[in-house]
């Protein structure tokens, strides 16, 4: 397979065919024996009371300004249905938040962006790959793609009907504080078919 081998992240985003670049890397991954994600145990004690201090904003996960081609989302059907079902409640932890600082130190990150995502019952986020633009806004200097790290910290305990999908794998049955990581090119999606909210920290960072 021929593929573009960018070393620096900003250069890859300037490519008008970034989606193909990411897909090519995922296809190479599928040919390897590497797992779709890595489990890191429970490195943090998480006090769920911190959620009471947060104000979430609910909105469509996919923005119309960046949507939507039939080839990118062949299974989602009518565009309006995407915005009705791909809904997420989100907020961002500040850089000086105690939990942000613990995560940054534990994973040896020089730059970090921590989103708190609450997925309510009957909502999904369709399969996609991230451009990590929120992190780029915080870090104007270019960096090696190999330094880009992505982690999920599950905050609310798993219940039947909740799933986090990565590549060919589906992760479930997590406990509060469980952490997984995955590569920047990994397609991922989530669904909440339970009767309870699902809350997690979505962490993007640049390793020292």
pTM: 0.86
What 3-state class would DSSP assign to 13? helix
Indicate the Cα dihedral angle 62, 170, 47, 147, nearest 10°. Answer: -70
C-alpha 89/C-alpha 91 separation (Å) is 7
Nearest to residue 182, comparing CAs of 152, 145, 146, 162?
A: 152
The confidence score (pLDDT) of residue 50 equals: 87
Q: What is the pLDDT of residues 11-69, one digit of tens each?
A: 666 555 677 778 888 999 999 989 999 999 999 888 888 888 899 998 888 764 444 33
Fold of 36-207: Jelly Rolls (2.60.120)
3-state SS track over 40-97: CCCCCCCCHHHHHHCCCEEEECCCHHHCCCCCCCCCCCCHHHHHHHCEEEEEEECCCC
Provide the pLDDT confidence category of residue 160 given band limits of 50, 70 and 90. very high
Instruction: Tell me the average pLDDT of the chain.
Output: 84
The pLDDT of residue 7 = 59
Both tokens of 61, joined, read: 């996960």
The residues spanned by each domain of the chain are 36-207
Contact 189, 183 (CB under 8 A): no
The predicted-structure confidence for 84-99, as pLDDT tens digits, reads as follows 678 899 999 999 999 9
- The answer to whether 46 touches 99, Cβ cutoff 8 Å, is yes
């Amino acid at each position: 397979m021929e593929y573009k081998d960018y070393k620096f992240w900003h250069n890859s985003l300037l490519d008008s065919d970034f989606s193909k670049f990411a897909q090519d890397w995922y296809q190479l991954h599928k040919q390897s024996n590497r797992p779709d994600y890595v489990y890191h145990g429970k490195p943090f004690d998480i006090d769920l009371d911190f959620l009471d201090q947060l104000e979430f904003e609910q909105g469509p996960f996919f923005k119309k300004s960046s949507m939507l081609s039939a080839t990118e989302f062949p299974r989602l059907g009518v565009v309006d249905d995407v915005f009705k079902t791909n809904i997420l409640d989100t907020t961002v932890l500040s850089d000086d938040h105690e939990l942000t600082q613990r995560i940054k130190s534990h994973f040896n990150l020089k730059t970090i962006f921590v989103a708190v995502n609450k997925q309510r019952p009957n909502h999904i986020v369709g399969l996609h790959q991230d451009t990590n633009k929120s992190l780029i806004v915080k870090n104007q200097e270019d960096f090696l793609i190999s330094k880009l790290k992505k982690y999920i910290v599950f905050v609310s305990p798993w219940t039947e009907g909740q799933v986090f999908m990565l590549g060919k794998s589906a992760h479930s049955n997590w406990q509060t504080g469980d952490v997984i990581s995955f590569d920047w090119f990994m397609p991922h999606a989530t669904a909440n078919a339970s009767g309870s909210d699902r809350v997690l920290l979505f962490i993007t960072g640049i390793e020292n």
